[in-house]
Amino acid sequence: MQKKALFKNGLGIIIGALIYAVTINDFLIPHHIGEGGVTGLTAIGYYALAIPPAATNLVLNGLLVIVGFKYLEKQTIWYSVWAVLWISIFLRLPHFIGYHTTQTIIPTIIGGVLMGIAMAIIIHCQGTIAGSTILAKIANRYLGIQNGSAMLFFDLIVAIPSGFIIGFQNMLLTIIELYLSAVVLNKLLAKFGVKRAVMIISDQYATIAQTLSTQFHQGITIIKAQGYYSQNDRPMLYVICTAKQLATLVPVVSTIDQQALVVVEEVRSVQAEQLKQLL
């Protein structure tokens, strides 16, 4: 199981690194749109001094990885090293898309969305892209701040001064891109671990519980409840399931008792050992 998870996370990080590098090479740099954190510094180095982004990315992120060793789990750091390695490799490849337009708001939006997707994949696979994501991970772990929000804060520290290099308009576009990537990152990370909490109130609760347990092999909790008006005891069933299971669970309940009250909420749940992933 550990080898399977290692392979899955490693492959996911490679995919995220590819999307990340393509975003920089094909959407941000060709249109002089900056970035935040180390990526922003690599863009500034490229614009001002023609320093290859891959070299700057490797050196600066290497320093931040060393800092991360002290505050983050070793597994996260090794996955981060893997991510930085592949990002540096992909940044050296020729442009895949070769997209160029004078309507710079278009690559700004596309870049922000793709950046958010790339970072969500990498972070979900237990890694980071080093740079500001290591600082964001530290803020997330010790302060409970969402990864995307923490990254936006650290990225703006670099993005705003970059206006002196890339110009005021491109600085504004950079801020828009960073904001979009932070929103997409937060939204996607919030979706990981999402399940459905189903509360069922019915006189046929025993039959429903037995049927659901038999058909879905699903753990079911019976909660003692009492109606305020009638003062009658009315046990309530509480079930955690996936969206796919919910699609078949509700019809089963309806077949047994068409008058059953079913309340469905979206919740996030993981095993206790993975609790930190909910932050």
Across the strands, what pairs with 200?
237, 262
Rounded Cα–Cα distance for residues 264 and 206 (Å): 19
Of residues 109 and 193, more confidently modeled: 109
Asked whether the beta carbons of 37 and 132 are under 8 A apart, the reply is yes
End-to-end C-alpha distance for the chain, whole angstroms: 24
Confidence of residue 143 (pLDDT cuts 50, 70, 90): confident
- pLDDT tens digit sequence for 115-141: 999 989 998 888 877 777 777 777 877
Which residue ranges does the chain devote to CATH 3.30.70.120?
Answer: 194-278
Give alpha helix (H) positions in 24-104: 37-49, 53-71, 74-91
Lowest mean pLDDT among 6-15, 20-29, 50-59, 143-152: 50-59
Confidence of residue 13 (pLDDT cuts 50, 70, 90): very high
The amino acid at residue 185 is: L
CATH 3.40.50.1820 fits 194-278, yes or no: no
In terms of C-beta density within 10 A (0-12 exposed, 13-18 middle, 19 or more buried), how is residue 250 classed?
middle
Rounded Cα–Cα distance for residues 145 and 178 (Å): 17
In this prediction, residue 193 carries a pLDDT of 65
Buried b (16+ CB within 10 A) or exposed e, 124-143: bbbbbbbbbbbbbbbbbbee
